[in-house]
Amino acid sequence: MKKSIFLILALFFSSFLFAQEEDVYVLGDTDENAKPSIPKKGFDWSKVTLGGGLGLTFGTITLVEVAPTVGYYLTDNVLAGVGANYIYYEDKSINFNTSIYGARIFGEYLFDDLPFLAHVETEVINIEGARAERLNIINLYVGGGLKQQMGKTSYFYLLALWNLNETKESYFLQPNPIIRLGIAIGL
């Protein structure tokens, strides 16, 4: 009786040991009929970056800036994204304060094995005009900078940008060149 139970259990468990799919591709497989894996299509969270910049100045002129960004790698070298910005500006010498806010879309090209990147951006900001009315200003920035890579999709950056649509209002706010320091962290 014990031998027959042992034989039944051995046959039962051996069927699990040999129940593997025959046409599975294994990395490095040289079989002509092997099927490579198909790349995943659609949205991929591992291609998303979060980041932006912060700015603080205190004294006679106080400036507090918050500029978050979200980017997505379209390819290994091309990053596209959107951002928002808010600036609180106060000049105590003339008793003036205001809030400046806006949004941006940007594109970056990150060079392989080099610490450089190219950057283009369109920004719409809302500022207070000379007569206390609110004005929308459209800025078109181009430039580039240095990056310090931290893994595959994260990096620190230092940018020098030039406003191709400079007006007297945008010049007062940020004269050319605009220097930015920030971070992009891959998810």
When computed from its CA atoms, the radius of gyration of the chain, rounded to whole angstroms, is 28
Q: How confident is the model at residue 29 (pLDDT cuts 50, 70, 90)?
A: low
Beta-bridge mates of residue 41? none
How far is it, in rounded angstroms, from Cα 165 to Cα 178?
Answer: 13
Residues with Cβ < 8 Å from 126, sequence gap 6 or more?
A: 100, 101, 102, 134, 135, 136, 137
What is the pTM assigned to this prediction? Answer: 0.70
For 1, 2, 18, 21, 151, the CA distances from 13, given in Å and listed in that order, are 19, 17, 9, 17, 45
Give Cα 154 to chain centroid, integer Å: 8
Q: Which of 85, 147, 95 is nearest to 122 (CA)?
A: 85
Q: 103-140, pLDDT tens digit by residue?
A: 999 999 999 889 999 999 999 999 887 787 888 989 99
- Looking at domain 46-186, does it have CATH number 3.40.50.300? no
Copy the structure tokens of residue 56: 């603080």
Task: Locate the domains of the chain by residue range.
Answer: 46-186
pLDDT for 176 equals 85
pLDDT for 79 equals 94
Q: How confident is the model at residue 152 (pLDDT cuts 50, 70, 90)?
A: confident
